[in-house]
């Protein structure tokens, strides 16, 4: 993975670039990009519904959050040719990470290494172009990741200028984590709701109530309405809880401690297996069941729900991810359903899962 992603940082460097990219979590940035997210979701789902042939669910859904990520990366419209090229390259890198590290032609890892080299060159070109534009005083329409990383000055950190190599590594890491989990979680939420019609209906009714409260029947989804999606938020939490079966966190012990009679010395590395945390029956009754309503009563304590890790190592894109999934579910619940074409295929995780998107007939509220 190190050869494909490349990022290794000291504690100070890690803190530093997390401070630089902190605006990604902010309410202001999310609201600034909301209209683009909303438009991208609407047009993408409509396109799926008008496609006669079945679609490979995960691969197609990847393109939706990747479009959002590319806009956030650059801050402006992305050339379609560049978009397609970078999508294929980062997809090859992700495939390489998920496969055995066999560096021979024909293997996913080998393809991933080649794609990583090309991806680095594309990021370098974007960095060079943006740096020249900044020298000329040209600003982008919106805050973006490349500008955040290029505007790196910090008197508390002696090596306060990130090298281009380090910036590229950060961009590759953000690319790796910036869209695949969003697509995966959105699909898993949809498939869970399909299997549990009573929860699907409850989530749909919530979206219909949001539509009814709008001042105009022509008004679209707004950023403020995301806060009204209380049940959908529970659907997302429950999906994240169940879906993190392969997630582990590598951490260092900051002090010596004892657990179940075993002494763990300071400085040792350990794996935190999220599945064991999220499947703890002392916290989650019947933990293997998909039940969004369990979040009505759960007292959220530190350490019991870690889909995005926690503390200073937590994912900087967590709020953006949940926002995108909320918008996807809003339009899906109101307007679409999926029909699985190959039910015999392994669809959890949803690899090679073929579906047809179907648009629902116009509802009585006109939406």
Domain definitions of the chain by residue range: 2-359
Instruction: Give domain 2-359's CATH number out of 1.20.950.20, 3.40.50.1980, 1.10.630.10, 3.40.50.720.
Output: 1.10.630.10
Q: What pLDDT is stored for residue 148 in this prediction?
A: 86
Q: Are 235 and 243 in contact (CB under 8 A)?
A: no
Distance of CA 34 to the CA centre of its chain: 15
- CA–CA separation, 112 vs 95, rounded Å? 7
Quick one: which of 259, 283, 281, 284 has its CA closest to 270?
A: 259
* The pLDDT of residue 161: 61
- Taking Cα atoms as reference points, which of 340, 297, 38, 329 lies closest to residue 203? 329
Distance in angstroms (rounded) separating the CA atoms of residues 219 and 215: 7
CA distance 357 to 367: 17
Distance CA 50, CA 45 (A): 9
96 half-sphere exposure, CB direction, 13 A CA radius: 27
The rounded Cα 129 to chain-centroid distance in angstroms is: 27
What does the block give as tokens for 44? 């993408």
CB burial of residue 250 (10 Å; 0-12, 13-18, 19+): exposed
Closest listed residue to residue 241, CA positions, set 273, 272, 279: 279
Q: How many helices (H) and strands (E) does the chain have?
A: 13, 7
Quick one: tokens of 282?
A: 């002392």
Give me the residues paired with residue 273 across strands.
248
Which single residue is written with the structure tokens 């074409």? 341
Q: Where are the alpha helices (DSSP H) in 196-307?
A: 197-212, 230-243, 274-278
Confirm whether residue 347 is marked as ligand binding: no
Question: How far is the CA of 138 from the CAs of 70, 164, 171, in angstroms?
Answer: 19, 20, 22
Split the chain (367 residues) into runs of 10 and give each run's mean pLDDT: 63 71 85 94 95 90 93 87 93 88 93 94 93 85 85 53 83 84 92 95 97 88 96 96 75 83 86 84 92 89 81 79 97 94 70 88 54
pLDDT attached to residue 365? 46
Q: How many CB atoms lie under 10 A from the CB of residue 271?
A: 9
In our burial notation (b when 16+ CB lie closer than 10 A, e otherwise), range 66-87 reads bbbbbbbbbbeebeeeebeebb
Contacts of 244 (CB under 8 A, 6+ apart): 274, 275, 278, 306, 307
Contact 357, 51 (CB under 8 A): yes
Dihedral Cα 153, 156, 162, 163, nearest 10 deg: 120
Name the phi and psi angles at 153, rounded to 5: -135, 130
Rounded Cα distance between 9 and 235, Å, is 35
């Amino acid at each position: 993975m190190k050869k494909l992603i490349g990022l290794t940082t000291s504690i100070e460097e890690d803190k530093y670039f997390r401070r630089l990219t902190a605006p990604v979590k902010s309410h202001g940035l999310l609201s600034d990009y909301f209209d683009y997210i909303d438009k991208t979701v609407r047009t993408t789902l409509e396109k799926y519904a008008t496609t006669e042939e079945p679609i490979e669910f995960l691969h197609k859904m990847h393109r939706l959050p990747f479009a959002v990520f590319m806009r956030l990366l650059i801050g402006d419209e992305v050339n379609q040719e560049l978009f397609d090229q970078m999508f294929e390259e980062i997809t090859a890198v992700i495939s390489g990470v998920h496969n055995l590290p066999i560096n021979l032609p024909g293997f996913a890892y080998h393809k991933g290494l080649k794609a990583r080299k090309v991806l680095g060159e594309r990021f370098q070109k974007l960095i060079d172009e943006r740096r020249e534009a900044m020298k000329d005083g040209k600003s982008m329409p919106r805050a973006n990741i490349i500008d955040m990383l290029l505007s790196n000055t910090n008197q508390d950190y002696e090596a306060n200028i990130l090298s281009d190599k380090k910036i590229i590594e950060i961009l590759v890491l953000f690319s790796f984590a910036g869209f695949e989990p969003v697509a995966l979680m959105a699909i898993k939420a949809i498939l869970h709701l399909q299997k549990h019609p009573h929860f699907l209906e409850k989530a749909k009714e919530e979206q219909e109530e949001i539509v009814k409260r709008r001042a105009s029947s022509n008004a679209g989804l707004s950023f403020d309405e995301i806060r009204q999606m209380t049940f959908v938020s529970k659907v997302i939490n429950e999906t994240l809880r169940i879906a993190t079966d392969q997630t582990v966190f590598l951490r260092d012990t900051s002090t010596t401690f004892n657990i179940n009679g075993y002494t763990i010395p300071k400085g040792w590395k350990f794996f935190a297996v999220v599945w064991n945390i999220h499947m703890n029956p002392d916290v989650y009754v019947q933990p293997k069941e998909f039940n969004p309503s369990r979040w009505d009563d759960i007292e959220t304590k530190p350490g019991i729900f870690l889909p995005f890790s926690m503390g200073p190592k937590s994912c900087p894109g967590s709020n953006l991810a949940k926002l995108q999934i909320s918008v996807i579910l809003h339009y899906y619940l109101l307007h679409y359903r999926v029909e699985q074409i190959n039910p015999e295929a392994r669809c959890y995780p949803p690899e090679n899962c073929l579906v047809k998107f179907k648009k629902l007939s116009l509802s009585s509220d006109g939406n």
